């Protein structure tokens, strides 16, 4: 090595290579694995691994701190892994399943979704809840819980604390519904298909619908699951619509955010494409189960990443108003959908 080269090396020391995505992806995967492991504990097993993952991620971040070397991988899990998992959700639904719900059933589901989203948005303004947080709670309540919250946030671009708060809201009230609903079929004079439709049209998460509807028998459980999956399919037009509205508002105000540059959530089109594929091609049950598990693992990693970016102090600062909004939205969707089920079936 010449003197000149040695001098240049000393004056321009080599920058260490960036750690890349692996540390963050490994951390989110470990938290997701811990969430699945906790489900083996009695009573804790009733909780979704998605919810356990975000709680564990929040605890880790606020008690220990997310390492700087993990940031890139955590962001990747929160963005890319999440989108791919939502695309895979399309393989859990077929056009034939949607048709089985029937015109009246689909009308109940669609009207309930629209009315709940609009009511929650209006109530959020009335209660003084921030617009983005209101939209997330509205999406989670009216469509499909945590999955809808995190999918909707790809176009609303809310802070991670808003997403965590919205996920907590829909989880608490959805869990309450899965306990309360099975007590009501006889009292409300609902036959199994009607109870399944009510459960599928109004309870937040797929797992919560399954837990509630099957308490009234196999017919109610199967119909409730199909009704819920049909409701999940409506996630696509809602997210696309919100993206277009956000883009229009950004153009009016001159905002040049990521949401404004790319308002179309293209991953939703992937979701629709896989619904079409699943309708045309028979996928073996073993493969379907593997895909469902993989989808849940990836969603758990994404929610673990969300927890790793969530500051509990900022959550507390949101106050009780968003929680009140989640409660009122839950009561509305339960009562409104029940009325439609009584009238239209």
pLDDT(211) > 90:
no
Task: Reduce the DSSP state of residue 157 to 3 states and report it.
Answer: coil
Within the chain, what is the greatest distance between any pair of CA atoms? 92
- Cα 343 to chain centroid distance, Å, stands at 30
Predicted local distance difference test score (pLDDT) of residue 197: 95
R_g of the chain computed on alpha carbons: 22
Q: Where are the alpha helices (DSSP H) in 128-234?
A: 131-139, 145-156, 160-180, 185-188, 192-202, 206-213, 218-233
What is the arithmetic mean of pLDDT over 297-305?
A: 87
Of 296, 24, 292, 267, nearest to 151 by C-alpha is: 267
Q: What is the pTM of this model?
A: 0.69
Cβ-contact 49, 32 below 8 angstroms = yes
Backbone angles phi and psi of 43, in degrees to 5? 75, -45
Phi-psi region of 152 (alpha: psi -120 to 50; beta: other; left: phi over 0): alpha
Which of 31-40, 110-119, 140-149 is the least confident region?
Answer: 140-149
| Two structure tokens written together for 286 | 């073993």
* Lookup: tokens for 285: 């049950």
| Rounded Cα distance, 256 and 138, in Å | 25
Contact 146, 171 (CB under 8 A): yes
* Per-position b or e across 287-311, b if 16+ CB within 10 A of its CB: eeeebeeebbbbbbbbbbbbbbbbe
Q: Please state the φ and ψ torsions of residue 12, each to the nearest 5 degrees.
A: -125, 75
Name residues whose C-beta falls within 8 Å of residue 3's C-beta, 6 or more positions apart in sequence: none
CA dist 289 and 294 (Å) reads 9
Q: Which residues contact 245 (CB under 8 A, 6 or more apart)?
A: none
Q: Are 144 and 232 in contact (CB under 8 A)?
A: yes
Average pLDDT, the chain: 83
Q: What gap in Å lies between CA 65 and CA 47, rounded to an integer?
A: 25
Instruction: Write the pLDDT tens digit of every residue in 93-129.
Output: 788 877 888 899 999 999 999 999 999 999 999 999 9
**pLDDT value, residue 205:** 80
Per-residue confidence (pLDDT) for residue 252, from 0 to 100: 67
Confidence (pLDDT) at 253: 61
Output the pLDDT for position 25: 94
Question: What are the tens digits of pLDDT across the range 222-270?
Answer: 788 888 888 888 888 888 888 787 777 766 665 544 444 434 556 767 8
Q: How far apart are CA 183 and CA 233, in angstroms?
A: 28
Distance, CA of 180 to CA of 196 (rounded, Å): 14
| pLDDT tens-digit series, residues 163-194 | 888 988 887 888 788 889 988 999 999 999 99
The arithmetic mean of pLDDT across residues 199-208, rounded, is 87
Q: What digits encode the pLDDT tens for the residues 54-68?
A: 889 889 988 998 898
Residues counted in the chain: 345
pLDDT of 331 over the 90 cut: yes
Return the pLDDT at 236. 80
Convert 39-96 into a string of H (helix), E (strand) and C (coil): CCCCCHHHCCHHHHHHHHHHHHHHHCCCCHHHHHHHHHHHHHHHHHHHHHHHHHCCHH
pLDDT band at 305 (very low <50, low <70, confident <90, very high): confident
Name the strand (E) or helix (H) holding 19: none
Residue keyed to tokens 């493969």: 287
Contact indicator for 112, 343 with CB cutoff of 8 Å: no
> CA-to-CA distance for 48 and 54, rounded, in angstroms?
10
Comparison of pLDDT for 301 and 92, the residue scoring more: 301
* Tokens standing for residue 279: 């309708």
Q: In the prediction, which pLDDT does 45 show?
A: 67
């Amino acid at each position: 090595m010449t003197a000149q080269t040695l001098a240049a090396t000393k004056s321009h020391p080599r920058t260490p290579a960036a750690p890349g995505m692996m540390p963050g992806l490994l951390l989110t995967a470990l938290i997701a694995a811990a969430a699945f492991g906790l489900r083996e504990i009695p009573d804790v097993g009733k909780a979704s691994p998605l919810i356990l993952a975000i709680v564990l991620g929040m605890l880790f971040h606020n008690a220990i701190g997310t390492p700087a070397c993990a940031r890139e991988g955590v962001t990747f899990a929160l963005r890319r892994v999440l989108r791919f998992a939502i695309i895979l959700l399309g393989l859990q639904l077929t056009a034939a399943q949607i048709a089985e719900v029937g015109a009246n059933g689909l009308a109940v589901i669609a009207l309930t979704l629209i009315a709940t989203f609009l009511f929650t948005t209006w109530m959020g303004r009335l209660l003084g809840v921030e617009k983005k947080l209101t939209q997330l709670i509205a999406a989670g309540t009216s469509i499909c819980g945590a999955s809808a919250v995190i999918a909707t946030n790809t176009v609303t671009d809310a802070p991670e604390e808003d997403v965590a708060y919205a996920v907590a809201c829909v989880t608490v009230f959805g869990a309450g519904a899965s306990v309360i609903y099975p007590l009501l079929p006889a009292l409300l004079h609902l036959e199994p298909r009607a109870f399944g439709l009510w459960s599928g049209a109004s309870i937040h998460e797929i797992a919560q619908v399954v837990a509630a509807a099957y308490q009234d028998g196999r017919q109610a459980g199967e119909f409730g699951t199909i009704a819920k999956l049909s409701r999940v399919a409506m996630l696509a037009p809602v997210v696309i619509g919100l993206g277009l509205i956000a883009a229009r508002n950004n153009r009016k105000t001159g905002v040049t955010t990521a949401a404004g540059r790319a308002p179309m959530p293209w991953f939703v089109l992937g979701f629709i494409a896989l619904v079409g594929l699943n309708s045309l091609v028979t996928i073996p049950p073993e493969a379907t189960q593997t895909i469902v598990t993989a989808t849940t693992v990836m969603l758990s990693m994404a929610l673990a990443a969300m927890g790793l970016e969530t500051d509990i102090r900022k959550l507390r600062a949101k106050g009780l108003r968003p929680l009140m909004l989640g409660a009122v939205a839950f009561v509305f969707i339960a009562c409104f959908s029940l009325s439609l089920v009584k009238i239209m079936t």
